[in-house]
Structure 1
Amino acid sequence: MPNPLRPYRSRLRRLLGQPDPDFLAGALESWEEAPGGVVHIRPALSLPGQVERIRSSVFATLADTVNALTLEGDVREGPTLGWRFRNVDLVDGVLYRDGAELHLRSRRNRLGLAFRPRQTASGALYESWNTNRWFGSWLMDALVAWPLAERTGEPLTTAPPPPVGGHAARYEELLGVDPMRMPAAVHFDDLIVFSDLANNPDKWRRQHELRSKLLAGRNPEPVPGVFLIRGTGGDLRLLKNERELAERLATERGFRILDPLSASVDELIEACGAARAIVGVEGSQLVHGMIVAPPDAAILPIQPPDRVAATLKQLSDRLGQRYGLLVAEGNDTVFTLDWRDLAATLDLFD
């Protein structure tokens, strides 16, 4: 039965300085949803001195990020895991179980105590805090985890219905994603959650299946490349000479320029589905192009020196694409890139 005291008990435990219990430790059962395995990784292509420009990283330590970008060879990846729980409450984006918590999204109410479960449900979640925080993570991880929930139980999500006509709604339509959407507070009689972080062969397979579904019935025109504008959308990462670089690529190399904020999902798929290169500031907007670009396409995120990430490298590995490391000059929010660095890095893929 729902227990309205669970959020209060968790808050009290933190106030008393008590350690956080492991949410996963209380699972009724656990299993390998997909086995681990060996995958072959190709290193990022880069000009001399690019690694040395990196001053800081996100999502991993600097050493681990550099290793992920430069690693070459066979790598053993872990399995995709599943856990089943009984008697779990969802309250304002947080799962509560016997004093343990699992955060799925930022709370709407900072105290986290404004909602009481009045509805019951059972099923499988295919989301995580990252996929609810960043649209690019939703595109490259939640949609790839959807088949896990679909075949294991009733697929559930805490996300509200996406705006009609928006990107998320169209992706869900194309991929047949139709979950049961949870209210702010709900009691789960039976709940399944997954860990799909490992970049194992099954995740590679599901990523290729997603690409095939998005391209089904289409015949995109081959183009030298697509520059996906970031502008000031999302978290601020402003490439001051972004428009200049994009226009030079269009004039001198035959690239198409698209702004995902004004382009439809279908326009993005048609433009990027046979592109030989996807270029733009590192961020969610690049994922639109990457998830449909062909194997061996050049993936070239322009990264600020104080915010380098290897997340998109994992996606390019899954799709057999070639990844380039290109670090701009500036800080984590405002930076510039020399045209000569961009052009010379693209030449590495010829």
Structure 2
Amino acid sequence: MLNPLRPYSARMRRLLRLAEPDFMAGAVESWQIAPADTHRVYPASYLPGQIDRIRASVFASLTEAISVLTRDGEERESPTMGWRFRDIDLVDGVLYRDGAEFHLRNRARRFGFAFQPQQAISGALYETWTTNRWFGSWLMEALAAWPLAQQSGHALTTAVAPRSGSHAARYEKLLGVVPERLSGDVHFDELILFGDQANNADKIRRQVEIRDRLIAGRNIVPVPGVFLLRGKGGDLRYLQNERELADRLANERGYLVVDPMAMTVDELMNVCGGARVITGVEGSHLVHGIIAAPAGAAIVPIQPPDRVAATLKGLSDRLGQRFGLVVAEGNDTVFTLDWHDLALTLDLFD
């Protein structure tokens, strides 16, 4: 059963500034689920001077983020991996093995050491800290990894059941996602984790299958583009002239302007499934559009200069979509974008 000393030993290691052991190195078995391969990638389309506006990035170093956005040619993609562990404890969102830890979510308890009643179980987790932190990451990564856990025979998640009528609940319904949900502290007799970051052929296949299932049976009508409003929802990334840009796209280019929070998943799939362009402030809400838009569609996130992210580029690559880079002026939370910068960037895809 759960070993009460493991969280304390991990905390003591940090206090003593000792090197952190590699959690994956403790696997009793590792295997290749899908092989490495080579994937053709195309650079983002952007106007002169846009790269120079980028001051900081998230989820990767500035150099790595710019590389992902601008690389052109054949890229070697890593394999999809599986790791099997024995005798693992899950305490307050953190996995522990002797001397090592792996975080799945932020701790709810200050020190994470006040043990609750536990169970012993075996199975496969398809989540990560990132997918538990951001809805967009869950939508584009956890749902793609779900089939891997499902194939193991016992798919598990620490995420609570989504609220009835929520976007997450509908996505799970449409995609047949029915994991066993864990609550409290748990001891794993056996645990399987996955390494599924690479855009190899198998992940591309799974992502395309998700799109096909989400738009199956719908009467999809082509539209020039969809602008997905963000406003001040979620983590603050406020485009001050968002409504002005949206209105001009609607009036001058025939774009549909939608508020994802005011629409159901089915409405979003119907609207975005035929969009030639998906645009709006970079963030989780754009993933609704990207995962439904057809191959060849242009994905143009409006990026804050102090918070440029390349993660949506990876998703659009999997779906055979084109990608645009347009960087606003301001900081990471409040910024503006000149209409001509957006309009001329969109013109690159005509």
Alignment TM class, shorter chain as reference: over 0.9
Contact kept, 8 Å, 1:39 with 1:74, in 2: the verdict is yes
Q: Who is 1:10 aligned against?
A: 10
Alignment of structure 1 residues 114-193 onto 2, 5 Å: 114-116=114-116, 118-193=118-193
Alignment of structure 1 residues 49-88 onto 2, 5 Å: 49-88=49-88
Q: Who is 1:245 aligned against?
A: 245
- Any unmatched runs of 5+ in structure 1? none
> Deviation at 1:287?
0.2
Q: Who is 2:19 aligned against?
A: 19
SS, match of residue 257 in structure 1 = strand
SS, match of residue 67 in structure 1 = helix
In 2, Cα distance between the equivalents of 1:318 and 1:212? Answer: 13
Q: 260-269 or 14-23: which moved more? A: 14-23
Q: Who is 1:261 aligned against?
A: 261
Q: Who is 1:293 aligned against?
A: 293
1:93 and 2:93 are equivalent in the alignment: yes
> Deviation at 1:13?
2.1
In 1, Cα distance between the equivalents of 2:14 and 2:305? Answer: 36
Contact kept, 8 Å, 1:117 with 1:187, in 2: the verdict is no
In 1, Cα distance between the equivalents of 2:118 and 2:145? Answer: 28
Q: Who is 2:342 aligned against?
A: 342
In 1, Cα distance between the equivalents of 2:147 and 2:139? Answer: 14
> Deviation at 1:197?
0.8
Q: 308-317 or 116-125: which moved more? A: 116-125
Detail structure 1 runs of 4+ shifted over 4 Å in the superposition: none
Alignment of structure 1 residues 279-318 onto 2, 5 Å: 279-318=279-318
The one-character-per-residue Cα deviations of 1:69-124 (angstroms, maximum 9, x if unpaired) are 11111111000111001111111100011121000000111211122452111110
Contact kept, 8 Å, 1:104 with 1:128, in 2: the verdict is yes
- Percent of residue pairs bearing the same amino acid type: 67
- Any unmatched runs of 5+ in structure 2? none
In 2, Cα distance between the equivalents of 1:53 and 1:93? Answer: 38
TM-score (norm 2): 0.98
The one-character-per-residue Cα deviations of 1:13-57 (angstroms, maximum 9, x if unpaired) are 222222222111111100111111011001101111111111111
In 1, Cα distance between the equivalents of 2:258 and 2:115? Answer: 42
- The root-mean-square deviation of aligned C-alpha atoms, in Å, is 0.9
Aligned amino acid, residue 56 of structure 1: A
The one-character-per-residue Cα deviations of 1:300-330 (angstroms, maximum 9, x if unpaired) are 0000111111100000100000000000011
Contact kept, 8 Å, 1:225 with 1:255, in 2: the verdict is yes
Q: Who is 1:273 aligned against?
A: 273
The number of residue pairs the alignment matches comes to 350
Aligned amino acid, residue 80 of structure 2: T
Contact kept, 8 Å, 1:44 with 1:325, in 2: the verdict is yes
> Deviation at 1:5?
2.2
TM-score (norm 1): 0.98
> Deviation at 1:162?
0.6
Aligned amino acid, residue 32 of structure 1: Q
The one-character-per-residue Cα deviations of 1:154-189 (angstroms, maximum 9, x if unpaired) are 000010111110010000000000000011211111
In 1, Cα distance between the equivalents of 2:6 and 2:65? Answer: 37
In 1, Cα distance between the equivalents of 2:131 and 2:78? Answer: 20
Q: 197-206 or 6-15: which moved more? A: 6-15
Aligned amino acid, residue 35 of structure 1: P
In 2, Cα distance between the equivalents of 1:163 and 1:301? Answer: 28
Aligned amino acid, residue 188 of structure 1: F
